[in-house]
Structure 1
Amino acid sequence: MSSESPMLEAVDLHKRFGELNVLNGVSLSVPRGKVMCLLGPSGSGKSTFLRCINHLERVDGGRIRLDGELIGHVERNGVLHELPGRRIVHQRQRIGMVFQQFNLFPHLTVAQNIALAPTTLRKLSKSAARQRALELLDRVGLRDKIDVYPSALSGGQQQRVAIARALATDPKLMLFDEPTSALDPALVGEVLAVMRDLAADGMTMVVVTHEIGFARDVAHLTAVLDGGEVVETGPSERVLESPGHPRVKEFLKHVR
């Protein structure tokens, strides 16, 4: 794809859960190598939007493209047809996701957690997968924890391992769903530092967060969702310092 084409493009996404409309025509575009933060009140559709990007939730309307490729579907004569499960799994390898809860397997060591996807999905040898785990643990500052179990780690350390695990398949896009909200305040900084380093290295990222300082200092773009709609989007400095929409002004007043 052209270096000028977006890494992620979501067009007119709709998602319902029963009678509840969670996404109402969400359209967002993230250039390659850039960071977008998603802000908004609880229940505004931010987490659902992330889960639709990697097809953990099926959209009821609209299209998502990663690096120009339609995610979760193939289009024939203007009609979307869902891809087979194995194709969707293959696509998900290109999208790393870090959740609010760390979701590490408690019965596996740190190395085994990180190596699981490369060995099972990419058929990497155990020795090569362990070497990759070492490299990623270096990146998140936890090389000395390679053979410990998650229960021996702090919350911040577990989340850093979760980031390393998400990076293990060399994704083109990283998704973060409130990655610091389950952490003690003293541990938030160590996770944000890893995310700042990823951004500095040019990783394309979409981050759901209430960390306004991170959005202001790191994110190139900020989008604010409310009621399943994008009510404002643009360069982070403008959205955060001079919002135009009254709902955005009210939201920021309460979270600063």
Structure 2
Amino acid sequence: MISIRNLHKRFGDTEILKGVDLEIAANEVVAIIGPSGSGKSTVLRCLNFLEAPTAGDIRVDGRLLGYVETPSGDRRRLPEADLNRQRAEIGMVFQQFNLWPHKTVLENIIEAPILVRGTPRDEAVAIARALLDRVGLGHKADARPTTLSGGQQQRVAIARSLAMKPKVMLLDEVTSALDPETVREVLDVIAGLAKEGMTMLLVTHEMAFAREVADRIVFMDDGRILEAAPPAQFFAAPAHPRARAFLDKVL
């Protein structure tokens, strides 16, 4: 479902990603962990083309992301409208909830399906209400985001991404802005998506959750993937010395 080949990303003279290769199968859940500054979130931002890669290929469901290949083998950047259609296949949930404060919860969820996918309003509303029920917030459809707790806002943000019916979900430290009491309610929603077979790539500092929900753990440091293994193997006996040192500090 996701293929990343030789991904590089530079900001000025600073190289953040230094040749990342990663394949993620359909219905697989992969957790990226590692120290701050290792490039984890940059991988996700390149996968949604919020950051254009400096070099390398990203393909989602077989399609090259962000570019069209010409018969001569050259590439040109996709027009913004075409890029947005690609992004519609890739749901992303951020650390911050990014909800429109002047719109209701329901209005936040239906806007993108109507504007980007052309979903009829009645259909978008029905989908939104079903998703709110799914994340336990059906009773909050007419509320403003500012009246909700952090955990509730993040669950609305997840529902908003799901409303676009994405093929892939990217989740970037989605619990880092939450207080400890509301972390579990968000993690339970993500665990439910994993059980339903959603393809997900998540960056997290919640080691116990990564062990619980992921099919594979990817460990990054200094812009590179140093190790990838099933959770039981990674947490019991990490192979790379840097991974062992990281787990010694965080567990």
Q: What band does the TM-score fall into relative to the shorter chain? A: over 0.9
Deviations 1:194-222 (A, max 9, x none): 00000000000000001111111110011
Q: 1:42 aligns with which of 31, 36, 47?
A: 36
**Corresponding position of 2:54:** 60
The structural deviation recorded for 1:80 is 2.8
Paired AA for residue 40 in structure 2: K
Paired AA for residue 59 in structure 1: P
1:123 aligns with 2:118: yes
TM-score by length of 2: 0.98
Q: 2:65 aligns with which of 54, 61, 71?
A: 71
1:82 aligns with 2:104: no
TM-score by length of 1: 0.96
Counterparts in 2 of 1:84 and 1:232: CA distance versus 1, 3 Å? same
**Corresponding position of 1:98:** 93
1:191 aligns with 2:186: yes
1:9 aligns with 2:39: no
Aligned identity (percent) is 52
1:26 aligns with 2:37: no
Q: For residues 115-194 of structure 1, what are the structure 2 equivalents within 5 Å? A: 115-194=110-189
Structure 1 unaligned regions, length at least 5: 1-6
Deviations 1:76-132 (A, max 9, x none): 344332111111000000000000000100001000000010111122222221111
Paired AA for residue 237 in structure 1: A
3-state SS of the aligned residue for 1:171? coil
1:203 aligns with 2:229: no
Paired AA for residue 46 in structure 2: C
1:221 aligns with 2:216: yes
How many angstroms apart in 2 are the aligned matches of 1:187 and 1:105? 21
**Corresponding position of 1:212:** 207
Structure 2 unaligned regions, length at least 5: none
The structural deviation recorded for 1:74 is 1.6
Paired AA for residue 221 in structure 1: R
The structural deviation recorded for 1:255 is 1.4
The Cα RMSD (Å) is 0.9
Deviations 1:10-38 (A, max 9, x none): 00000000010000000111110010000
Q: 2:233 aligns with which of 235, 238, 245?
A: 238
3-state SS of the aligned residue for 1:56? coil
